[in-house]
Amino acid sequence: MARVAIVTGASRGIGRATAIRLARDFSAIVLVARSPESLRNTADLVMSTGADALVVARDLREPQAAAAVVAATLERFNRIDAVACIAGAVPQQDLFDLTDEQWEEGLALKFHSARRLTIAAWEALKVSRGSVAITSGTSALTPKASLAAVGTINAAILALAKTFADRGIKDGVQVNSILPGSVMTDRRRSMLKGYATANGLSLEAATERFAAEVGIARYGRPEDIANAIAFLFSPESQWLMGTALRVDGGETKVI
């Protein structure tokens, strides 16, 4: 049976890795992000696996974008089986340095985009008895003043996913969240380069020191998170509902 998955943030990093990984399990992947050029690169990689790909270049901060993504998906494929909400870089600023505009931007791109897209896709997911995975982060469990918006918004996403899961019990839609730890993305590479320069270290030495400081053997790869999302969309995970799946190499020292 043909199955269709929507992946946001699909132009790079975890989103791109997830789109490519899901192409092994789904017949079509709908790729959503702001950059049409980067999305087309992802689409080529998806189609090289034999799956179909639909590029929908939209800014998910816009209130009507989620509905437009769902409309384009249903027009092309007439069904939705899974939604992976991955878009959303939250400003990494101290609690007292964050402006109202930065709070609003972080909420719009990560929290509200996931909320709107899940609601927009819900009726189609009820028909397919589909699944949703919403990306949060381990900072939801260990908030810090230096990363105030990151931890706060990620914690809100955990509650959002639980709330959707509660409705999903009745409607037959599976909803879970996923909490990546320290993953080596372009954004983290940029941060590590700054750290290396500030401390007079090579990039390799800075990477090793930072990994040791957070208590992990290595940084995660985008594929590590993509594989976990694929599991959440697989038959083997069908009794997981409202679960917050932590994928962090042991970084988070909480029970």
Question: pLDDT by residue (tens digit) across 183-207?
Answer: 998 888 888 888 888 889 999 998 8
Q: Are residues 240 and 160 in the same domain?
A: yes
Give the span between the Cα atoms of 63 and 75, in whole angstroms: 20
DSSP, collapsed to helix, strand or coil, labels residue 2 as: coil
pTM for the full predicted model: 0.95
Residue 93: pLDDT band (50, 70, 90) is confident
Strand partners, 30: 6, 54
Give the span between the Cα atoms of 106 and 91, in whole angstroms: 6
Count structural domains, the chain.
2
Which CATH number characterizes residue 24's domain? 3.40.50.720
Mean pLDDT of 66-87: 97
Q: How far is CA 227 from the centre of its chain?
A: 12
Q: Are residues 129 and 225 in the same domain?
A: yes
Q: Which domain holds residue 20?
A: 4-181+221-246
Q: Are residues 127 and 197 in the same domain?
A: no
Q: Cα dist. 131→19, 194, 211, 215 in Å?
A: 15, 39, 33, 32
CB-CB contact of 180 with 220 (8 Å): yes
Give the span between the Cα atoms of 134 and 118, in whole angstroms: 9
- Give all strands of the β-sheet with 28-33 in edge-to-edge order: 52-57, 28-33, 4-8, 82-85, 131-135, 174-180, 244-247
CB-CB contact of 150 with 179 (8 Å): no
Q: Are residues 191 and 68 in the same domain?
A: no
Give the span between the Cα atoms of 108 and 96, in whole angstroms: 20
On whether residue 255 sits in a domain, the answer given is no
Mean pLDDT of 42-68: 97
Mean pLDDT of the chain: 95
Residue 72: pLDDT band (50, 70, 90) is very high
**Residue 190 is encoded by which pair of tokens?**
């940029």
Q: Are residues 53 and 130 in the same domain?
A: yes
Q: Taking the alpha carbons of 56, 61, 65, 67 in that order, is the dihedral positive or negative?
A: positive
Q: Are residues 102 and 210 in the same domain?
A: no
Q: Are residues 136 and 194 in the same domain?
A: no
